[in-house]
Structure 1
Amino acid sequence: MRGKLRFRCKHFAANLDPMARLAAFRVLPAPLADLTAAARCVAAYSAWRDEPDILPMLTGVRMLALPHHAGRVDTMSFHPWRPGDKLEPGPWGTEQPQESGETVVPDLIFCPLLGFDRAGGRLGQGGGHYDRYFAAHPGILRIGIAWSVQEVDAVPTEPTDARLDAILTEQEFIVTGDRL
């Protein structure tokens, strides 16, 4: 399923109209704008490959944090980051904040997806980093980010998989849980 969704995402992003790409993920829907305004810290990600770039829509948050991996270890932490701060190569070719002593626990996490379903099922890249982080911090709101073509009828899940509270695509905001 991951291979099929990577193919779908790659071709969708490559064929996206330039104006549609420019407009996608630039403004938060009202419910998310309210949540991010109230949050002490919001976590996002630096877009990798064909992932949607969401950083432009988060410029007004109090504190923005990005994931950091120290090598190819199982743990992921979040470090504060501001637009203009330098990013460094991460272990899989992703960009991440430079190593700093400061880590933060966000109130809300925007996480990238390979696939999703309307019940909040999330298919990631396969490393389990977000699932482990969500398990260690169950109170954090989880918002998945994907292109609409990444939706599937049902994501295969295991007991360790954390469900999303909502999903944001270029077309709609889908609330999947009862925490929003």
Structure 2
Amino acid sequence: MTNLPCPPDNLDRWRQSERDRLIEARQKIPVSVRQAADKELAKRLDALLGDISGRIISLYWPFRGEPDLRHWAAACRKSGAGTALPVVVAKATPLIFRQWDAATKLDKGVWNIPIPPADAAIVIPDIVLAPVVGLDAQLYRLGYGGGFFDRTIAAMRTTGPSPAVIGVGYDMQRMETIHPHRFDIPMDHALLVPA
């Protein structure tokens, strides 16, 4: 399907239609195929990132067929990296990142996605992995529509050293364009693997 420019009054509806289509397609990928793709994604992350010792990596808890990188996170911790999960604090605000490891007892956050508890340390990641619903050739990410990652990246870029932001997903999530809004922020890197 070729993505043609949409009139501004239809853009939100078009984006929601694309979200629905891409999420449905991702969830139809057999679990065994996703697991193989996730291993390939982990290899590509290792190659891209190199030595991660002493760095803090923000992952995400897999949701609605997103790549599951929790095993890779465990390997990162064994290599001396710290890991964190993003936490929604309030609607229309940047995310915060709380320290997370295999021993962390998780609470339920927005959409019942597991998050570290309120007493977990807040950290500033060096690397942020952002799951994509769709990703275009200019590295603009189509997410779930809340704008959390864009607000977070914008805030981090204005307040200090900016983390490397990597969009991750599957090849079937590639798009010609997401028709970015003025507040959309492109990823620094993207890793999409066959699934």
TM-score by length of 2: 0.77
RMSD over aligned Cα atoms: 2.2
- What amino acid is the match of 1:120? L
CA contact under 8 A between 2:92 and 2:148: conserved in structure 1?
Answer: no
Determine if the alignment matches structure 1 residue 91 to structure 2 residue 110: yes
Determine if the alignment matches structure 1 residue 59 to structure 2 residue 60: no
Partners of 1:21 and 1:155 lie apart in 2 by 24
CA contact under 8 A between 1:115 and 1:122: conserved in structure 2?
Answer: yes
1:34 to 45, 50, 53: 50
Matched position secondary structure for 2:35: helix
Matched position secondary structure for 2:185: coil
- 1:75-132 Cα shifts (integer Å, max 9, x gaps): 3100000024222211222221111252111011001111101211111111111111
Partners of 2:143 and 2:104 lie apart in 1 by 26
- What amino acid is the match of 2:61? S
| Paired position in structure 2 for 1:175 | none
CA contact under 8 A between 1:6 and 1:114: conserved in structure 2?
Answer: no
Deviation at 1:19, TM superposition (A): 3.5
Q: Which runs of 5+ in 2 are unaligned?
A: 1-14
Choose between structure 1 and 2: higher helix proportion.
Answer: 2
Identity rate, percent: 25
CA contact under 8 A between 1:43 and 1:66: conserved in structure 2?
Answer: yes
| Paired position in structure 2 for 1:178 | none
Which of 1 and 2 has higher RCO (CA within 8 Å, sep 6+)? 2
CA contact under 8 A between 1:5 and 1:150: conserved in structure 2?
Answer: no
2:34 to 10, 21, 46: 21
Partners of 1:121 and 1:86 lie apart in 2 by 33
Distance 1:15 1:113, change over 3 A: closer
Distance 1:151 1:2, change over 3 A: farther
TM-score by length of 1: 0.83
Count residues in correspondence. Answer: 170
| Paired position in structure 1 for 2:10 | none
| Paired position in structure 2 for 1:141 | 164
